[in-house]
Homo-oligomer: A and B are copies of this chain.
């Protein structure tokens, strides 16, 4: 079951897909060299938007949830990719500590943690789960919807190593995005106790604008490689600093950016013969979980916020207040399944695409964000891994469409790798 593109504008995307499929050899060769220069994060997931005329990553998650939504047929692919990642990190590794988010009531999230534990365990590593829940004194056993169980154990610090009772892990896999910053217990650890991804991948350090700046470079080089307009794979973005929604500060700056970007999109729409009204997405430059996200079709939309909207935009996860705001070109979603909007999410371990799923949502419009609080979606696992194409088939054959998704997702993961190099507090600043 593969969602359909329900737009009359399939022409340009078919053309983009054709160019990707035809350049497969050049693309894989180019990516092999890129990964040598910029090692991929341990894992990542990338949200894509397929507008028919345009296909672009809109969010790159370095602490991916949703591993439970992947097609179980591709589990061997995930395990093998994790084996490669573990070998690169440390062939001598025996034990992994996974640090999840602190939500103990979100069963879907816990099922994701269980899926991660399963993948890493199947590589032959010993895996336990360490929790940052503040008052956790005893192991906490949680029952999962599928009948399985997770045991969260309190982490403790011994010298410069992080441990559980009777467990001194070689590596620590973060599945916690550290929105409120890296807690002291995770700082200054023994470098031999590898932290994956590094602490500065947390949302307290990361920003979407830095990610998309890195993606600008990647998209530029890739577009040159296959000979396309970079705009076809790269949404415009701009950063608006010093916004305080509650105090109504910075609104004019934001309105100006929105107006300028809507105009730039209109120019591109005319150039490519696209008869649509542009829109932009306004979101917090740091943070995740789809809080503080707004669809804007006119500069007036950000001038006339009511109190409720201001409150919604003003805080993101764990109560951080928004000051930097990203204005991003809206890429409408034209994939649908039985009239429901479907948005692809692609998963990677190291630089390998290991599958993905669609977020299928019936109650939303094509220009709304599906990864929003309270959002209920039905996951639909990809029925192809997306790791290779079939040159003999049509560019929009499912295997080829998923391959194109996999290529775009790898570009976003590559941008994340470049971003992490640039923001590495111990690395050279470029």
B-binding residues in A (CB < 8 A) = 24-25, 27-29, 32-33, 35-36, 73-74, 76-77, 79-81, 83-84, 86-87, 91-94, 121-126, 352, 385, 387-389, 391
Could you tell me the distance between the alpha carbons of A91 and B28 in the complex, rounded to whole angstroms? 10
Known contacts A28-B123, A28-B124; decide if A76 and B79 are in contact (CB<8 Å): no
* Minimum Cβ distance to chain B for residue A52 (Å): 26
Could you tell me the distance between the alpha carbons of A77 and B83 in the complex, rounded to whole angstroms? 12
Could you tell me the distance between the alpha carbons of A153 and B54 in the complex, rounded to whole angstroms? 41
Q: For A29, A84, A123, which residue has the most chain B Cβ atoms within 10 angstroms?
A: A29
Known contacts A80-B352, A352-B80; decide if A388 and B25 are in contact (CB<8 Å): no
Known contacts A123-B28, A124-B27; decide if A80 and B79 are in contact (CB<8 Å): no
Question: Contact: A92 with B33, CB < 8 Å?
Answer: yes
Question: Contact: B79 with A124, CB < 8 Å?
Answer: no
Could you tell me the distance between the alpha carbons of A80 and B387 in the complex, rounded to whole angstroms? 8
Closest to A386 in B: B76
Could you tell me the distance between the alpha carbons of A3 and B339 in the complex, rounded to whole angstroms? 45
> Can you list the 3 inter-chain pairs with the closest CB atoms, starting with the nearest?
A28-B124, A122-B388, A76-B385
Question: Contact: A33 with B91, CB < 8 Å?
Answer: yes
Question: Contact: A126 with B76, CB < 8 Å?
Answer: no
Question: Contact: B29 with A94, CB < 8 Å?
Answer: yes
Chain B residues with CB under 8 A of A387 = 76, 79-80
Could you tell me the distance between the alpha carbons of A90 and B80 in the complex, rounded to whole angstroms? 20
Closest to A76 in B: B385
Query: Among B32, B86, B388, B391, which residue has its beta carbon within 8 angstroms of that of A76?
Result: B388
* Minimum Cβ distance to chain B for residue A203 (Å): 30
* Minimum Cβ distance to chain B for residue A198 (Å): 23
Q: For A24, A79, A80, which residue has the most chain B Cβ atoms within 10 angstroms?
A: A80
Chain B residues with CB under 8 A of A123 = 28, 388
Q: For A74, A79, A91, which residue has the most chain B Cβ atoms within 10 angstroms?
A: A91
Closest to A390 in B: B122
* Minimum Cβ distance to chain B for residue A41 (Å): 17
